[in-house]
Amino acid sequence: MVKICCIGAGYVGGPTMAVIALKCPDIEVVVVDIFEPRIIAWNSDHLPIYEPGLDDVVKQCRGKNLFFSKDVEKHVAEADIVFVSVNTPTKTQGLGAGKAADLTYWESAARMIADVSKTDKIVVEKSTVPVKTAEAIEKILTHNSKGINFQILSNPEFLAEGTAIKDLFNPDRVLIGGRETPEGQKAIHALKDVYAHWVPVERIICTNLWSAELSKLAANAFLAQRISSVNAMSALCEATGADVSQVSHAIGKDTRIGSKFLNASVGFGGSCFQKDILNLVYICECNGLPEVASYWKQVIQVNEYQKTRFVNRVVSSMFNTISGKKIAILGFAFKKDTGDTRETPAIGVCRGLLGDKAMLSIYDPQVSQEQIQRDLSMQKSELDRPPHLQPASPTAIKQVRCVWDAYEAAKGAHGICILTEWDEFKTLDYQKIYDDMQKPAFVFDGRNVVDADKLRQIGFIVYTIGKPL
Ligand code: NAD
Ligand code: UGA
């Protein structure tokens, strides 16, 4: 029986390995993590992450060929294939701070693999890493290898949160990069065999190591660029009377452009787009390509602009003062169907509103009060950020209340900001909400989820991104 061990039981390691275990009953999969509470949660009825369909998959194979353990070294030593799916955040200190990827967790995992291994292993980069990372990892692994043969593969993950299980069951493609040596090609084939249990072989792309590593950064940069492009258009739509949904629809019909990922919003969030573009920018700068770096940097700048624009719109619409006014925040997660708040645009928007002394009443179906408080008060190292993106002061946090119902959030409020596109926000009883609000009652829809005309008929003043007022 082939044994797989995955280091890192997070948003990627957990769901990815659960699906491999489900689709490959002949393979034993152990997911390990140094963070014990996560492992305890993976072994409980309350999984550490919310992801539609995940509970079912885990229930079907946990205890059969899927295991979660904190015994990292034992399971790494026993494995034939070791996936490394640890976090690779943006560096906060030292050389490249604020841009470069922090590979501390990766390096410590690699050193541990080198220390505990007694048999040959395929080591798979699952985390998103800078191009050429495999070269450094190879050096660490082979430095003290005691004659053990390590083959490094790059197998970046393309799942999106909220649709992880669907994406893993039916990926557009699986990408495997390896050395162009006979041993490297053999390793590629071994990993290909794992995915071939359920992914059609024509969707498994094999490349060299550097193409695979760079393709992951490129894919995220292209996706984020589409959002910044449509968000930039949304500002122009508001200035001219065009409707961004109509523009998206019209341009998306061109098969060369395509219709997906053209939803204007309050800005993109999530743990990866910003981090991976910053990483790409840093790599370009290090390779003497400042023009290329500044091209990609602009994608992030437009994203920041979009959040600032939204806050400014709220303040200016509400007669230039929101001091002491109650504003309901509907949605805090970075997108629907996840409880993840990493880099959610809601953080920037809430901080901006708090900076103008608003009273916030926040509701998200999947994010806890503790998480929201933590996010709003978290110290960010990016001190060059605009004031509204800096951490809220302890006094400002007192202006925040978290509630467990959208109606409760909106009761007595002057305005509502919709910051996550949860389906339930489409079908709320807006007449009831209107009746319980201060007048004039404002709705600022940061996700284009409400029927603005219907709400206007009720009496709301509605602002929707990229649409005529
Ligand atoms: P995460 O923070 O949810 O999980 C990482 C886990 O690794 C944590 O639980 C941490 O405790 C563990 N860890 C760190 N060092 C360790 C060590 N030495 N030994 C054992 N465990 C260790 O991160 P994530 O969201 O799963 O992302 C992981 C990687 O995958 C990142 O590089 C990310 O860019 C990439 N990625 C993420 C997504 C996503 O949707 N979240 C999608 C594609 C790729
Ligand atoms: C994204 C990519 O889609 C995945 O392919 C990739 O694997 C992953 O990053 C990663 O490397 O972490 P994710 O961040 O989970 O996945 O979610 P997305 O669906 O891409 O959404 C990201 C953000 O963009 C969200 O805030 C979303 O609301 C926003 N978005 C998305 C828009 O504002 N408009 C759109 O049209 C699409």
Q: What average pLDDT does this structure show over 131-137?
A: 95
**CA of 381 relative to ligand 1 center, distance in Å:** 21
End-of-domain residue from the set 141, 164, 199:
199
By the 10 Å C-beta count (0-12 exposed, 13-18 middle, 19+ buried), 403 is classed as middle
Q: What average pLDDT does this structure show over 369-380?
A: 86
Which amino acid does the sequence have at 368?
S
Residues 244 and 181 reside in one and the same domain: no
Pocket of ligand 2 (CB under 6 A): 128, 157-161, 220, 223, 227, 261-263, 265, 268-270, 272-273, 334-335
Tell me the residue range of the domain where 362 lies: 220-464
Q: pLDDT by residue (tens digit) across 331-347?
A: 999 999 999 999 999 99
Task: Give which of 299, 48, 50, 305 is closest to 164, Cα–Cα.
Answer: 50
Question: Looking up tokens 């794992």, which residue turns up?
Answer: 194
Pocket of ligand 1 (CB under 6 A): 7-13, 32-35, 38, 72, 85-88, 105, 108-109, 127-128, 157, 159, 161, 271-272
Q: What average pLDDT does this structure show over 128-157?
A: 92
End-of-domain residue from the set 133, 165, 199:
199
Element of type H or E holding 218:
helix 209-240
Q: How many CB atoms lie within 10 A of CB 205?
A: 14
Give the pLDDT confidence score for residue 387 in this predicted structure.
Answer: 44
Give the pLDDT confidence score for residue 390 in this predicted structure.
Answer: 58
Structure tokens at 190: 């071994």
In a domain, 81, yes or no: yes
Distance, CA of 408 to CA of 436 (rounded, Å)? 10
Which is higher by pLDDT, 91 or 144?
91
Alpha carbon distances (Å) from 95 to 29, 133, 213? 37, 17, 22
Residues 177 and 226 reside in one and the same domain: no
Please say if the pLDDT value at position 383 is more than 60: no
In a domain, 421, yes or no: yes
In a domain, 118, yes or no: yes
Give the pLDDT confidence score for residue 386 in this predicted structure.
Answer: 45
Residues 177 and 234 reside in one and the same domain: no
Distance, CA of 372 to CA of 397 (rounded, Å)? 10
Instruction: Give the domain CATH number at 171.
Output: 3.40.50.720
Give the pLDDT confidence score for residue 145 in this predicted structure.
Answer: 67
What is the arrangement of strands in the sheet containing 461-464, beginning at the earlier edge strand?
Answer: 400-402, 359-363, 326-330, 415-418, 442-445, 461-464
Please say if the pLDDT value at position 135 is more than 80: yes
Confirm or deny that 145 is annotated as ligand binding.
no
End-of-domain residue from the set 199, 230, 246:
199
pLDDT confidence bin for 385, thresholds 50/70/90: very low
Distance, CA of 5 to CA of 443 (rounded, Å)? 49
In a domain, 239, yes or no: yes
The residue whose C-alpha atom lies closest to atom 2 belonging to ligand 1 is 87
Residues 180 and 306 reside in one and the same domain: no
When divided into structural domains, the chain yields a total of 2
Residues 257 and 360 reside in one and the same domain: yes
In a domain, 373, yes or no: yes
Which amino acid does the sequence have at 18?
A
Distance, CA of 395 to CA of 237 (rounded, Å)? 37
Distance, CA of 102 to CA of 108 (rounded, Å)? 12
**CA of 131 relative to ligand 1 center, distance in Å:** 18
Please name which ligand lies nearest the alpha carbon of 265.
2
Residue 329, strand partner residues: 362, 417
Q: pLDDT by residue (tens digit) across 249-286?
A: 999 999 999 999 999 999 999 999 999 999 999 999 99
Confirm or deny that 9 is annotated as ligand binding.
yes
Residues 108 and 25 reside in one and the same domain: yes
Give the pLDDT confidence score for residue 1 in this predicted structure.
Answer: 84
In whole numbers, what is the pLDDT of the chain averaged over residues? 95
Residues 313 and 372 reside in one and the same domain: yes
Confirm or deny that 127 is annotated as ligand binding.
yes
Give the pLDDT confidence score for residue 143 in this predicted structure.
Answer: 82
Please say if the pLDDT value at position 379 is more than 80: no
By the 10 Å C-beta count (0-12 exposed, 13-18 middle, 19+ buried), 183 is classed as middle
Element of type H or E holding 153:
strand 150-154
Are the beta carbons of 297 and 279 closer than 8 angstroms?
no
Between 282-296, 324-338, 378-392, the lowest mean confidence (pLDDT) is in 378-392
Q: What average pLDDT does this structure show over 3-24?
A: 98
Q: pLDDT by residue (tens digit) across 426-446?
A: 999 999 999 999 999 999 999
Residues 165 and 62 reside in one and the same domain: yes
In a domain, 469, yes or no: no
pTM for the full predicted model: 0.95
Residues 138 and 236 reside in one and the same domain: no
Q: pLDDT by residue (tens digit) across 183-227?
A: 999 999 999 999 999 999 999 999 999 999 999 999 999 999 999
Give the pLDDT confidence score for residue 384 in this predicted structure.
Answer: 42
Q: Which regions of 317-429 does DSSP assign to beta strands (E)?
A: 326-330, 359-363, 400-402, 415-418
Residues 236 and 193 reside in one and the same domain: no
Please name which ligand lies nearest the alpha carbon of 343.
2
In a domain, 205, yes or no: no
Task: Give which of 368, 331, 337, 341 is closest to 443, Cα–Cα.
Answer: 331
In a domain, 160, yes or no: yes
Residues 178 and 243 reside in one and the same domain: no
Q: What average pLDDT does this structure show over 54-67?
A: 98
Residues 11 and 149 reside in one and the same domain: yes
Give the pLDDT confidence score for residue 351 in this predicted structure.
Answer: 95
